[in-house]
Amino acid sequence: METTELEENVYEALTTNEELMSMLASEIDIPIFHFYAPAVDGKKTQRPILVYTTTSDTPVMYADDEEYMHKVTIRISIVTNDGQYTEINKIIREIMTKNFGFKRVNTFPVADWEYGKIILNCDYSIEILA
Instruction: Measure the CA–CA gap between 75 and 26, rounded to whole angstroms.
Output: 23
Q: From CA 100, how far away is CA 124, in angstroms rounded? A: 10
- Tens digit of each residue's pLDDT (9 = 90 or more) over 57-102: 999 999 898 999 999 999 999 999 999 999 999 999 999 999 999 9
pLDDT digits (tens, 9 = 90+) for 4-43: 999 999 999 999 999 999 999 988 889 999 998 776 555 6
CATH number, domain of 110, equals: 3.30.2000
Total domains in the fold of the chain? 1
What separation, in Å, do the N-terminal and C-terminal C-alpha atoms of the chain show? Answer: 6
In this structure, the number of other CB atoms found within 10 A of the CB of residue 129 comes to: 9
Cut 0.95: pTM above it: no
Structural domain boundaries, residue 48: 3-129
